């Protein structure tokens, strides 16, 4: 795989070439994903649940993200690597700069932060220091207690307007990518068309520029209740490698997610 950078993703958006992304947390899976053709990997704070066994992302620390970022980068030297800034690690400018520098030095190309307009000053400061920032709005797992669970966001006209406004504000502040989670497909379509930066969806319909899934969900090894927008690609494809290739192909062709996996 040739080296993927932010310009690659911006070019794909302009050409309307959809791309697939996935979470990873270790060397072996990262190498497998890169070899299968995945261009974007997220070291997500979802590791709090998938790796550490917690019931939310809240306990994840910056050191955890650093550790897993280093491992994934070794396995996938050419992918575009995004790492989450964990809960309460970026709400003050000096703290955000310090924690971001650690994660970038561990191998990430970009950091992802959850939240809307209250983060504008943080995003501007990170951007002023030439740090690539990915926004994340809609359902934000770090605020899961405040949101009272994993529920679709943006269902009312008021909430839809708020999410649209925040997307525009975040782009204006300097984010270079946006993740939309668990919102109606038509809202994500409007946002994707409005923004000039790549927009990645998870539970946000097929209109976004890219899609991302948690690897355990994609491989059907998540315990407990399955989220509506997740699909097990392994069950009909025989091997992990074939499952990943089927996922990439489905995203590129706009087949996944269909209405069954959207809101």
> CATH no. for residue 218?
3.20.20.60
241 in a structural domain: yes
221 in a structural domain: yes
137 in a structural domain: yes
CA atoms within 13 A on the CB side of 160: 12
210 in a structural domain: yes
Per-residue pLDDT at 150: 62
Per-residue pLDDT at 148: 52
Assess contact for 57 and 45: CB atoms under 8 A.
yes
Per-residue pLDDT at 225: 67
Per-residue pLDDT at 149: 57
For Cα atoms 3, 81, 122, give the angle at the middle one, nearest 5 degrees. 125
Query: What is the C-alpha separation between 215 and 207, in angstroms, rounded?
Result: 21
Residue 137, Ramachandran bin (φ over 0: left; ψ between -120 and 50: alpha; else beta):
beta
Quick: pLDDT tens for 9-21. 999 999 999 999 9
What are the CA-CA distances from residue 205 to residues 89, 200, 211 (Å)? 30, 10, 9
Considering the candidates 34, 160, 171, 181, report the single residue annotated as catalytic.
Answer: 181
Per-residue pLDDT at 99: 98
**Smallest Cα–Cα separation from 109: which of 197, 14, 4?**
4
Per-residue pLDDT at 144: 66
101 is in an annotated binding site: no
112 is in an annotated binding site: yes
Q: Tell me which H or E stretch contains 42.
A: strand 40-43
180 in a structural domain: yes
| Low-confidence spans in the chain with pLDDT less than 50 | none
45 is in an annotated binding site: yes
1 in a structural domain: no
Q: Among this protein's residues, is 165 annotated catalytic?
A: no
Count of domains forming the chain: 1
Quick: pLDDT tens for 122-175. 999 999 999 999 999 999 988 765 555 567 888 899 999 999 999 999 999 999
Per-residue pLDDT at 141: 85
145 in a structural domain: yes
Query: What is the C-alpha separation between 170 and 257, in angstroms, rounded?
Result: 25
**Smallest Cα–Cα separation from 18: which of 40, 49, 48, 51?**
40
Which range of residues forms the domain containing residue 167?
6-261
177 in a structural domain: yes
């Amino acid at each position: 795989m040739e080296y993927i950078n932010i310009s690659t993703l911006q070019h794909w958006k302009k050409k309307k070439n959809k791309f697939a992304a996935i979470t990873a947390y270790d060397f072996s899976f990262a190498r497998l994903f890169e070899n299968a053709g995945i261009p974007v990997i997220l070291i997500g704070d979802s590791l709090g649940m998938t790796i550490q066994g917690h019931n939310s992302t809240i306990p994840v620390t910056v050191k955890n993200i650093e550790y897993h970022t280093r491992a994934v980068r070794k396995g996938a030297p050419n992918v575009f690597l995004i790492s989450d800034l964990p809960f309460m690690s970026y709400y003050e400018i000096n703290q955000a700069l310090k924690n971001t520098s650690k994660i970038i030095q561990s191998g990430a190309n970009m950091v992802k932060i959850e939240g809307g307009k209250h983060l504008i000053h943080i995003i501007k400061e990170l951007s002023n220091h030439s740090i690539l920032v990915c926004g994340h709005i809609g359902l934000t797992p770090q605020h899961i207690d405040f949101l009272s669970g994993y529920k679709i966001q943006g269902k009312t006209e008021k909430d839809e307007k708020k999410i649209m406004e925040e997307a525009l504000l975040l782009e204006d502040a300097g984010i270079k990518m946006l993740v939309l989670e668990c919102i109606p497909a038509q809202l994500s379509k409007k946002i994707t068309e409005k923004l000039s930066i790549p927009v990645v969806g998870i539970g946000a319909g097929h209109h976004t520029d890219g899609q991302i899934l948690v690897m355990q969900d994609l491989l059907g090894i998540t315990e407990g209740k399955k989220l509506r927008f997740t699909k097990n690609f392994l069950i009909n494809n025989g091997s992990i490698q074939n499952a990943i290739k089927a996922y990439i192909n489905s995203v590129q062709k706009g087949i996944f997610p269909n209405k069954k996996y959207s809101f």
